Chain A
Amino acid sequence: MNGFPILTAMLLVPLIGAFACLFAEAKTARMIALVATLIDFALGILLWANYDIGGAQWQFAENLPLFAGFNWALGIDGIALMLIMLSVFLMPICIGASWNSIQTRVGEYMAAFLLMETLMIGVFTAQDLFLFYIFFEAGLIPMYLIIGIWGGADRIYASYKFFLYTLLGSVLMLIAMLWMVNETGTTDIPTLMGYDFTPEAQQWLWLAFFASFAVKMPMWPVHTWLPDAHVQAPTAGSVILAGVLLKMGGYGFIRFSLPMFPEASAQFAWLIFALSMIAVVYTSLVALVQQDMKKLIAYSSVAHMGIVTVGLFAFNVQGLEGTMIVMLSHGLVAGALFLGVGVIYDRLHTREIDRYGGLAINMPQYALFFMVFTMASVGLPGTSGFVGEFLSLAGIYQVSSWVTLVCTTGIILGAAYMLYLYARVFFGGQKNADAAAMRDLDPREWAMMASLAAVVLWMGVYPESFLAPMRSDIAALDARLARARPMGDARLKPGEPRKIEAAADEGAH
């Protein structure tokens, strides 16, 4: 990109938009927000188009020694690129989702979202440990305000829970970072990714980072902030929460825990496996009995994140690639499902499943789109969900058949709760007159749903587009992890080669 600081530009555009929104009328604020997010999306496409697949590991690097103790260092690899693309793709959709449903304090709302976008992109682009931390933590402020001001009935409890949970997780990570920088004398993330800490130190550092990422992820048992935050957040808040914020946990594991502390990661893999297996089974069962649509999808998110974490700690290429695709796919699909709930919530102002029924009759287009996303969430071949879950589980199968067995039940349970949800909402008789009178998608909603569905199918049919930029980075990570790779429990042994005699006999005939 011959010197143009595109990453800084991507951070600045929404930031400037946020300030403009603060002082704008409702109508202008919406336009400003849409334009700013679309510009960022365009910059994102430019970024992807100029990303040199198979080139240098860190591209578009920028480094300005602006601060004492840390630098304004930005740069991306393929993993970060994909997550940035997810963020910039979802943001205009979020703004669109809030177009009519947010009527109070629009300027502040849009400003909070644009600020959020800046911070999310910052997290994925930061190449300096402390710069990363600042972006990572700062996201709490806009999200706290979004949940607290525009959320539902129990919004205040949910906002506190979200804030304090994630803060407690993160501050321990800060102490670990301070220790690491004191030890190595650098704040540069790529350098730290190649630094070998002693295995004893790794244990403490790993646990401190785990405290932060497990809450963000969220893993069982620290997932309880998520359903509360989701149910109370406005639709777009849920989309961003599920779509991008949850990915910060996974990104943290893949960027910090695994490459920086490979031995400790192998050592604590049992912990991750145990928590993930509980998450997959337990939260799927909880999802099955939910009466609130958003809560159901929130619990399904926790279950999907369980697949992400086992894939990460499989220590092989399939597991890592699968994890990344599950994260991208979940970002799109969960985002789309929350958006879908938002569509009917805007019409009837309830998320209770029983209040709907037979929507396939009066909202056929909506039912079709929701079907696509339901199937993607279940993991039907041809959708993005299948690719990711299959790869992750194939990866983990090489390590542990038992973990694979338990986690695969998540797919079955996933099919159960999603299809049960679909059946109750869309099929059957139109038992509620007001639900039966709802009109189908308007063009704004149609455009948002269609763009999401297109990407979900694209990722399902031709995942290579998304895997290619990440391939070399995942291979590098895999090579870094090789020394700590656990033995598989299948204990595969190469069989005896067939005796030569048989071939000799054949020749004799």
Chain B
Amino acid sequence: MDWGQSLRLIAPEELLSISGLVLLLVAAWAGDKAARAISIASVAVLAACAFLVAPALCSGAMGPETSAFFGQYRADAFASFAKLLIYAAAGAALIVAPAFFDRVKAMRSEYPILILFAALGMGMMVSATDLITLYIGLELNSLAAYVLAAFLRSDERSAEAGLKYFVLGALASGILLFGMSLTYGFTGTTSFSGINHALDAGRSSGALFGIVFMLAGLAFKISAVPFHMWTPDVYEGAPTPVTMFFASAPKVAALALTMRVTLVAFAGQAAAWQQIVIFAALASIVVGALGAIGQKNIKRLLAYSSINNVGFVLIGLAAATPQGAAAMLVYLAIYVAMTVGGFVAVLMLKDADGVPVEDIADLAGLSRHRKVLAACLAMIMFSLAGIPPLFGFWGKFVVFQAAVQAGLVPLAAIGIAASVIGAFYYLKVVKIMYFDEPVNKVVGRSDLAHQALLALSALFISPLGYLLTKPLGELAEAAAIALFHFA
């Protein structure tokens, strides 16, 4: 283990931090005029980072040679898989932003830089194999995210979202830190594999408290029930491109982090955390579904939908097997595509003056005058509901398959039965778009970048996506094996 190798392993993080700092200077010097150019440069940086991390995934990198800085950080196939999703979601958040912010003259050059720093933090989260790295990554991401939520400074809702996110996020970080300190105190180490070894030797009730508090803190970050309350408010208040970002990249990062914490640091304690995860999974599915039914704002609806989806991902975690981890990664990949597609479709809903339409009732009869947009949104809704032949079904399929393989048949049966509740509100959106008389509110023209992104994600979640099941499954499997190969 030498410094040179460590520095090589964190190449994507280095690239992100250096280019983030350079672009920050450019922004300070050139001002908001350069916002668009900086956005383009940021997308290029993210693409370059994706190229840097891809080889580790394709070769299924794992083991000690992927470990950097004396076990603090790991650049294995699992981290690469998560990072690719994070970079893709961050890139999408950059691409959709200008068209949204330009209307209110709020496209400032800090936006792409904050996204880059958030991506850097998320990259550290998914690579963390030590409590300290975990916390630094988490906070780096969170601080950028708080600012992003309040990015529309003059908009009350946005400011409120930022404040709520900050206060509750700080609380959750506190809980997490408390759990980490307990864990450290009772195991004597901050390294994940060290914690695992120490706990294998015997678990005190103090360490159990540490596990519970850490899981509670992480549950806030992934917005799992019962720590989900902030989600609808923040998602509704934050500017839509930022909401799209929140619903996709940080979710992936926080879930990947949760996987590493539970399946590596607490690998031997599955019996202790499994019941917590099972409760959070079922509660998220049910609360996410029931909460969405009464919603009138489409962003709030999608917020509840994301809570619901986290519940399904956690079913894969409850399995505590490599199959479960692989299933979670497949689910997350499909979830990111559906989320990006869903929010891009929301961004395209504009009235004649270009003002965003967020009221679900205003979508009435959308299928008459915006055929393609309505069809894409309907596809995304059916896909989120998990109706075959759309690709969203495959995500649910693999997590339930993993649960059944792990012998959790009752959990799978209850979870899938609860998914029918969720189908109701997704259907409601389709009903409003297709069955109701048109109100002709959504008539605004949409941006070319939005159309392209929507087309891309719609293609991915269409039945053609099933042709990707083999490569996607193989990559996720390689990543899951790397995750479990932590000795």
Contacts and interface: CB of A to CB of B under 8 A. Distances in A.
Contacts of A160: 424, 427, 431
Contacts of B413: 172, 175
A455 interface: no
B400 A174 contact: yes
B435 A69 contact: no
B409 A179 contact: yes
Contact of B469 (A68, A108, A155, A181): A68
- The contact size tier of chain A is 20 to 34
A138 B387 contact: yes
Interface in B452-487: 466-467, 469-470, 472-474
B419 interface: yes
A171 interface: yes
A141 B375 CA distance: 12
A175 B393 contact: no
Contact of A156 (B416, B431, B472): B431
Nearest to A165: B420
B448 to A, nearest CB: 21
Main secondary structure of the interface of B (DSSP, over half): helix
Interface string B387-426: 1110001000110110011000100110011011001100
A148 B404 contact: no
Nearest to B469: A68
A396 to B, nearest CB: 33
A140 B393 CA distance: 14
Contact of A69 (B401, B420, B424): B401
Interface in B256-296: none
Contact of A159 (B409, B420, B431): B431
B10 to A, nearest CB: 32
Given A138-B387, A164-B427, A171-B420, 6 more contacts: A68-B474, A156-B431, A175-B400, A175-B416, A178-B397, A179-B404
Contact of B417 (A134, A163, A168, A182): A168
Given A137-B387, A156-B435, A163-B427, A69 B473 contact: yes
Given A66-B466, A148-B431, A163-B427, A134 B393 contact: yes
A144 interface: yes
Contacts of A145: 430, 434
Given A134-B388, A138-B387, A156-B435, A171 B472 contact: no
Contact of A171 (B405, B416, B430, B434): B416
A69 B387 contact: no
Given A172-B417, A178-B400, A134 B389 contact: yes
B405 A182 contact: yes
Contact of A140 (B387, B400, B431, B469): B387
Contacts of A66: 466-467, 470
B466 A67 contact: yes
A134 B398 CA distance: 14
Contacts of A156: 431, 435
Contacts of B473: 68-69
7 contacts: A68-B473, A144-B427, A163-B427, A164-B427, A171-B416, A175-B412, A178-B404
Interface in A120-173: 130, 133-135, 137-138, 140-141, 144-145, 148-149, 155-156, 159-160, 163-164, 167-168, 171-172
B382 interface: yes
Nearest to A66: B467
Interface of B: 367-368, 382, 387-389, 393, 397-398, 400-401, 404-405, 409, 412-413, 416-417, 419-420, 423-424, 427, 430-431, 434-435, 466-467, 469-470, 472-474
B431 A172 contact: no
Closest 10 CB pairs of A and B: A68-B473, A68-B469, A134-B388, A178-B404, A171-B416, A148-B435, A138-B389, A68-B470, A168-B420, A67-B469
A182 B404 contact: yes
A155 B435 CA distance: 9
B382 A141 contact: yes
A179 B401 CA distance: 8
B119 to A, nearest CB: 29
A67 B412 contact: no
B404 A175 contact: yes
Interface string A262-282: 000000000000000000000
A67 B391 CA distance: 12
A175 B419 CA distance: 13
Main secondary structure of the interface of A (DSSP, over half): helix
A175 B408 CA distance: 11
A178 B389 contact: no
B279 to A, nearest CB: 20
Contact of B467 (A67, A155, A182): A67
Nearest to A208: B413
B438 to A, nearest CB: 12
Given A149-B434, A171-B417, A175-B413, A163 B393 contact: no
A22 to B, nearest CB: 8
Contacts of B466: 66-67
A143 to B, nearest CB: 12
B388 A133 contact: yes
B405 A164 contact: no
Contacts of A130: 397
A449 B393 CA distance: 40
The interface centre, meaning the residue of A68, A145, A148, A172 with most chain B CB atoms within 10 A of its CB, is A68
Nearest to A160: B427
Nearest to B405: A182
Contacts of A163: 423, 427
Contacts of B393: 134, 137
Contact of A167 (B420, B431, B469): B420
Given A68-B472, A175-B416, A164 B467 contact: no
A415 to B, nearest CB: 39
A69 B327 CA distance: 12
A473 B449 CA distance: 56
B328 to A, nearest CB: 15
A382 to B, nearest CB: 43
Nearest to A137: B388
A5 B388 CA distance: 24
Interface string A44-73: 000000000000000000000011110000
Contacts of B423: 163-164, 167
A68 B430 CA distance: 30
Nearest to A130: B397
B471 to A, nearest CB: 9
A179 B413 CA distance: 11
Contacts of A164: 420, 423-424, 427
Contacts of B387: 137-138, 140-141, 167
B469 A171 contact: no
Nearest to A171: B416
A167 B433 CA distance: 21
Nearest to A65: B470
Nearest to A145: B434
Contacts of B474: 68
Contacts of A108: 367
B416 A174 contact: yes
A494 B267 CA distance: 68
A26 to B, nearest CB: 14
B429 to A, nearest CB: 13
A148 B434 contact: yes
The interface centre, meaning the residue of B382, B388, B423, B434 with most chain A CB atoms within 10 A of its CB, is B388
A108 B420 CA distance: 26
Contacts of A181: 401
Contacts of B405: 182
